[in-house]
Amino acid sequence: MAKITSLPPELLAHVASYIDDADDLLSLRLTNCDLNVAARTCHLKALYESVNICIAFRSLENLVEISKHPSGVNRLVRNIKLFSHAPYIRSPPSLKRDGRRGDEEGFSLAHAVYKASEKKIWQLQRPGKKEEPVLDEDMEIGLLTTAFRNFPNLRTLDLDTDNPYPLSRTQFNLFFPSLRMEHGKRIPASFRKAQIACKGIFTYASHYNFMAPMTAAVMSDCSKISTIRQIYDGILGMQMDWFLWPENQVTKSAPVFTNLKILELTVTPDLLKGQLNSIEINKGFYSWIETVGLKLEQLKVIFQYYGSYKDRSHDMYSTALDIPTTLSLPRLKRLHLDWMVFKVEKMIGFLQNVASTLEELELGFCLTANPKNDWWRLLKALNTGFDKMQKFDVFITQEDVSVQPFFLPDILVRGNWASRKATCWVRTPTFPSWIEGGSSNHSRPAVETLKNISEELTKNTEEDSFWESMTEGNWKAEHIIHWEWPCTRPNRSPASIVRSLRSY
């Protein structure tokens, strides 16, 4: 009977390439000399191609060690994911408290981690102060800069501000060597549930974890970075005044991010350190995007408004980010904006600038001052000149449906608008009405129609007749049940609402 070891080395290496678990690859390497040689490259890639770090001294110190390792593994590092949560657990896990069954092994390990964390939390906290990082900004930037300089093939910076720090066996031993997670042992899947239930140490809020890695990338001249992601599924994004870097910093960004193709950000326009007006904020934010955007192909920005969580009467229009009509992104193919407050004239002007390259456009729950007229005007503008656009999604919302006698539909288009083969799906959204006790009422059925949006815009020269035709008349007050604005549900973030509504 033929054995796997009888295969030629190149086939053995190909078999190993289908294994993505570092521990499985290590087991394969320990089988015999031939498999050790064949699986070595795959094993090292599994360990070092994507590196997870958090804002804890041991994590950043380990990153520097990897960058300077004499074996040359620093050349394998292509993706760095920075987590706001450290793996230390700050509260004791309890099966009874969390109502879980069958997770004893995971919670037992979580309890051991909690006990070990008591000795480690000093790395993140100063005595007498609650959850204040020991690492100051200069030290953090210094460690990241030292590491980044030695990663010649770094391509992606992924700034994760929402998920618990994922522990591999190697990472587990880095933070908790006394627990001896030896080769052959596995971290129980239920341990991640315990991490979520018990909460880890939250080292940096989303609006604090952007500038340090970005400044380090500029200082270390990471010119091969093609992707930067900072998407936060919570209440706050990053502070806008952080884009008001000194002019020399913005200038330095241009040659460093010359290969940037994907940029995804979550920002909070009204979360400011100082008293800055919207003109300064707009200029700083969009100047930075234009500076790094010469080769940008995909841009996603989610806007979170801090004031709207503190006070429902908060005027988001006062902190609106008006896209400059002169903003130049010459290679932009995919644009995705969520919860943006915009003026339709500025939006149309900007979109016309990228009309020759734009292939996909998604506008999720954006707000305008006059939605019925503004969205109609925007759709009319998109009806000509956007010959490459093959995907268009607009999820329209209003701040309070009781203010207007109508509710505009969501529109999803696949294919070129002018083509009769293009599919245009129109749906009047079904928002749940959140009632006491957290339950919801879906008593209002959605109305779905298929239309040719180009024809509808051509034959309907007035906004009312256009919306009437698009929805088959199902957009007026008599067809609407007045439900509550979804943000009034406690602990319900805009990002989670968008995600649930897109799932229909």
pLDDT tens for residues 430-458? Answer: 654 444 444 444 445 667 888 888 889 99
pLDDT for res 140: 85
| Residue 24 domain boundaries | 4-47
User: Sign of dihedral through CA atoms 385, 387, 388, 389?
Assistant: positive
8 domain residue, yes or no: yes
What does the DSSP assignment read for 252-292? HHHHHTTT--EEEEEEETT--SS---HHHHHHHHHHHHHHH
88 domain residue, yes or no: no
For the beta carbon of residue 484, count every other beta carbon within 10 angstroms: 16
| DSSP classification of residue 476 | B
pLDDT for res 430: 60
pLDDT for res 334: 98
CA angle, 10 then 14 then 15, to 5°: 120
* R_g (Cα) of the chain, nearest Å: 26
| DSSP classification of residue 484 | P
282 domain residue, yes or no: no
pLDDT for res 280: 75
Give 10-residue mean pLDDT values along the chain (504 residues).
Answer: 74 78 81 84 89 86 94 95 79 56 70 74 46 64 94 92 77 84 77 55 56 87 92 69 66 85 86 60 84 94 67 50 86 94 92 95 89 94 92 76 73 83 79 46 65 90 93 71 37 43 43
User: Sign of dihedral through CA atoms 437, 442, 444, 449?
Assistant: positive
Could you tell me the pTM of the whole model? 0.83
Q: Give how far the C-alpha of residue 367 lies from the chain's centroid of Cα atoms, to the nearest Å.
A: 21
15 domain residue, yes or no: yes
Query: Which amino acid, 303?
Result: F
487 domain residue, yes or no: yes
pLDDT for res 483: 37
Q: Which helix (H) or strand (E) holds 362?
A: strand 360-364
Strands (E), 46-191: 50-54, 79-83, 85-89, 156-160
Report the C-alpha gap between 486 and 470 in whole angstroms: 25
The residue whose two tokens read 């955007």 is 293
For the beta carbon of residue 436, count every other beta carbon within 10 angstroms: 5
Report the C-alpha gap between 484 and 402 in whole angstroms: 9
Domain count, the chain: 2
412 domain residue, yes or no: yes
Which CA distances in Å does 313 have to 186, 234, 259, 487, 489? Answer: 51, 20, 42, 12, 16
pLDDT for res 97: 45
User: 198 and 91 in contact (C-beta within 8 Å)?
Assistant: yes
Report the C-alpha gap between 237 and 132 in whole angstroms: 20
453 domain residue, yes or no: yes
| DSSP classification of residue 503 | T
Return the structure tokens found at 141.
């930037």
215 domain residue, yes or no: no
